[in-house]
Structure 1
Amino acid sequence: MNVNRTTIFRLRQRLHETDTVSDRPRSGRPRCTTQGQDRNLVRNHMNNRFLSASASSRQTRGRNNQRISANTVRRRLSTSGLRARRPYIGPILTQRHGHQPTLWAQKQAAWDRIQWRSVVFSEKSRLCTCMEKKRRKIPSTLH
């Protein structure tokens, strides 16, 4: 089994004493929110996706009317399966944007070779003629 002998002995002894081998409850700091408050936090964030954890922590009071931290809210949302994502920041595309490449192609249909030599085609959305030193990096999300 590739386990120490004392581990097997203790598990066997615990099974004999308590009829189970599961871990016993450990001492630790009690939770500052109830399960009902946790469900309420999740429901509020599902209804308002742009609600921040800090705003939610200011609105929610824990047991004994104590304040809860934004990190507590994030942990509660994380255990329920909600993860923070960065919102998409970019242009909102319309139908007009979809028609523009077609209009451009129709306009340039009559071009000759000399005019086409001044056009650069690229698969990239960004064309840099020099190296940019302060390019922002966006962290990838874990699934």
Structure 2
Amino acid sequence: MIEGGRLQAEVAHHFNVSQSVISRLRHRYNETGAVAERPRSGRPRSITPAEDRFLTISARREPFSTCRMLWERLINAADINISIETVRRRLGEVHLASRRPLRRVPLTPEHKRQRLQWGTEHVHWQEKWNAVLFSR
């Protein structure tokens, strides 16, 4: 588009990016003849994007699974060697966190109603219950 005579600002508006992005891409194209990203420094990622998606989908399907459970599932499915910390980092990148399973039975609305009724009936037990705090 730029070679066709359009301004950088027009191209940026067309692709909904800032003008500096178009400027950097044009500069890179003039230097290297391509706009593809250059190799980056640092260690390569240990799992592929497909394995990242597998982790994300597994975590969303079973929201109370732990990192260890997700790690074991990924190890069995992909036959790779990664750490549990890698699983935690990958979940953090997509704003997910593993959760611990509940250690108690959740209260139903009926349970809550019965507990509140019992508390309101016994709120005036001054002799035996001085050290107990009742709240709603």
Q: Which runs of 5+ in 1 are unaligned?
A: 1-10, 126-143
State which of 92, 107, 113 in structure 2 corresponds to 1:98: 113
The one-letter code matched in structure 2 to 1:29 is R
- TM-score with structure 2 length normalisation? 0.50
- TM-score with structure 1 length normalisation? 0.48
Distance 1:73 1:47 in 2: 16
Greater share of helix: 2
Total equivalences in the alignment: 108
Paired residue for 1:77?
A: 91
Structure 1 residues 123 and 102, CA gap change in structure 2 (3 angstroms): closer
Q: Which runs of 5+ in 2 are unaligned?
A: 1-23
State which of 29, 43, 46 in structure 2 corresponds to 1:32: 46
Does the 8 Å CA contact 2:52/2:90 hold for their aligned counterparts?
Answer: yes
Distance 2:64 2:44 in 1: 29
Structure 1 residues 100 and 54, CA gap change in structure 2 (3 angstroms): closer
Does the 8 Å CA contact 1:57/1:73 hold for their aligned counterparts?
Answer: yes
The one-letter code matched in structure 2 to 1:56 is L
Query: Percent of aligned pairs with the same residue?
Result: 30
Deviation at residue 83 of structure 1 after TM alignment: 2.2
Deviation at residue 27 of structure 1 after TM alignment: 1.8
CA-based RMSD: 4.4
Distance 1:50 1:35 in 2: 23
Q: Deviations over 1:6-35 (max 9, x none)?
A: xxxxx9x9898469xxx9643221111110
Deviation at residue 53 of structure 1 after TM alignment: 1.5
Deviation at residue 70 of structure 1 after TM alignment: 0.7
